Amino acid sequence: MHPWFLKSCLCFLFVLFLSPVVFAQLGKITFDLEKDKPTKFKTKTLKSEKTGEKKFTLPRKLMQNTVSHYNYYFNANNKINEVIERARLSNNDTYYKLLPFYSYSLKNTATQTAELDSIIYKATAGILLHDLRSSWVDNFYLLIGKAYLLKQAFDSASMTFQFINYNLYPRRKKLPYPYSDSDDKVIVGTNTGSSGNSVSIANPETSTLLTKTFSLPPSRNDALVWQIRTLIEMEEYSEAAGLINTLRNDMNFPARLNPALEEANAYWFYKQGMYDSAANHLEYALANSSDLQEKARSEYLLAQLFELSKNRTKASEYYNKAIRHTTDPLLDIYANLSDAKMYDSSVLNEIDKSIVHLLRMAKRDKFETYRDIIYYSAGELALVKPDTAAAEFFIKKSLSYNGSDISFRNKSFLKLADINFTRKNYKAAFAYYDSLQTNDSTLSDLAKIQERKNALSKIVSQINIIEREDSLQRLALMTPADREAFIKKLAKTKDACHRNFIHDCTDCRTKQ
């Protein structure tokens, strides 16, 4: 037997027995390519244009689906995941603020234009170069819609998802004469084909072991959920709400997509600042997380939403879940800090217990890098008591552990300035306001800070004059021996201030 013949037989057997079982499309899709086809291809006929010329036999079905899946869909889908993963890695979450809903920004995905264009090209080629009766056409269209969404081309994404919605809706079986082809269509959103008077727009899905193992579910139901995301990004909230409510009450909507629908519903509330409702839906959407770290981030966001809704019990529950699941040390530290603040205000000494918990954390090697954040959080809790002396001590301790994080140093200086201003210690308040680095982009209310600093500058200049005159008069009234002892003591204090880099003596604060 010739070697090439043996290889051909083996390839055929692989395609016949090892390729996935696939199913035909639900709708009829046609293209008119004459207008857009390049001149050199005018005389050539694409595979998609030959659809219907031959019977869609089992060998042809297997070949078309195998090539569509592994040569086109597999690569394009991997590229989509890579685009999202790169955007996720370039995203820097600020855990002391409310997290963005998604772990990646569409601004970051939109910068990857070449990759997204390649996905659209690959998916389009997968459609046009193969028989349109292939089982992967709907999946290709879904990839195209996702790519447009990630490019922030929301109109194109919405049109693509709407195309899937209209063209891949289930059709009636062929009716006998004298009914025409138009009678084969079912109007989307009617109770035709549904039991009772219920209205359905979703595709019914089979859930047999065979279909779950060897094929992907129809992409039309997924497209409806992605359409909701697109409408929210376009701020078309009423249209998104209508689609959400329709799918929630649709008897044909598959259970597998319930977490995705809950996520879309949570996003709808989140974007409009209704955090209590967003938390209630996000709780049911955790199953939609792509991995354990993604789940931990969602749990942290969920805890933040419950905290904003004044539900401290649920907030503490999800902060602890995030601690158990996260692989990000920064998320771990902030979840611990936030959980420590979930004290019960009705219980005496509860704040003190939280502060003690934070101080124990500061002693652990695991949190050594984040001691500045821990002590700052302890200072914030001390202010709640209120104990401004303890708060000032803890925040100064935070500054001593702070390295090169300008934003966090500014945050500490601003808090110390506000504490001293409230205590009418105007010289110290001015010194801390003056220590702020105004080139920090995270610093807000610069005009208010500058206004207060200017006012304090005038007050401090007068206080310095008064103190200098009082000091000189006090020195003049001293005996020579007392005067010499006082000056030596003052010099030692100043020397210790500079040696320890505290710069908190009267002279240093005046110069600042």
The answer on pLDDT for 392 being more than 70 is yes
In a domain, 504, yes or no: yes
- Stated as kind and residue range, the H or E segment containing 261 is helix 258-271
Residue 436 lies in a domain: no
Q: Are 218 and 135 in contact (CB under 8 A)?
A: no
Instruction: Kindly tell me if the per-residue pLDDT of 504 is higher than 70.
Output: no
Q: pLDDT tens for residues 367-390?
A: 888 888 888 888 888 888 788 888
In a domain, 340, yes or no: no
Q: Is residue 503 part of a domain?
A: yes
Question: Residue 378: what pLDDT?
Answer: 87
- Please check the confidence at residue 285 and state whether its pLDDT lies above 80: yes
CA 239 to chain centre: 23
pLDDT above 80: residue 425: yes
- DSSP 3-state assignment of 481? helix
Interacting residues of 512 by C-beta distance below 8 A, sequence separation 6+: 430, 431, 434, 435, 503
Which amino acid type is present at position 194?
A: S
Q: What is the mean pLDDT of residues 140-144?
A: 90
Average pLDDT over every residue of 159-166: 89
Residue 256 confidence (pLDDT) above 60: yes
Determine the Cα–Cα distance for residues 142 and 222; give it in Å rounded to an integer: 8
Burial class (CB in 10 A: 0-12, 13-18, 19+), 320: middle
DSSP tag of 70: I
More confident residue, 488 or 304: 304
Of residues 45 and 283, the one with the higher pLDDT is 283
482 belongs to a structural domain: yes
DSSP string for 217-260: PPHHHHHHHHHHHHHHHTT-HHHHHHHHHHHHT-TTS-GGGHHH
Average pLDDT over residues 76-105: 90
Answer yes or no: is 192 within a domain. no
- pLDDT tier at 243, thresholds 50, 70, 90: very high
Q: How many domains does the chain have?
A: 1
pLDDT of residue 297: 94
Return the HEC string of 396-441: HHHHHHCCCCHHHHHHHHHHHHHHHHHCCCHHHHHHHHHHCCCCCC
Residues 6 or more apart in contact with residue 290 via CB below 8 angstroms: none
Whole-number average pLDDT of the chain? 77
Owning domain of residue 510: 478-512
Domain assignment present for residue 251? The answer is no
Q: What is the pTM of this model?
A: 0.70
Residue 463 forms part of a structural domain: no
Decide if 127 contacts 48 (C-beta within 8 A).
Answer: yes
Interatomic CA distance for residues 230 and 198, integer angstroms: 26
Share above pLDDT 90 across residues of the chain, in percent, rounded to a whole number: 26
120 against 65, higher pLDDT? 120
- Closest-CA residue to 48 (of 126, 125, 128): 128
pLDDT given for residue 50 in this prediction:
57
Q: Which residue has the tokens 């809790």?
A: 381
Percent of the chain with pLDDT over 70: 72
The residue written with tokens 């080629």 in the block is: 125
> Across 221-230, 436-445, 471-480, which has the greatest mean pLDDT?
221-230
Which tops the pLDDT comparison, 244 or 61? Answer: 244
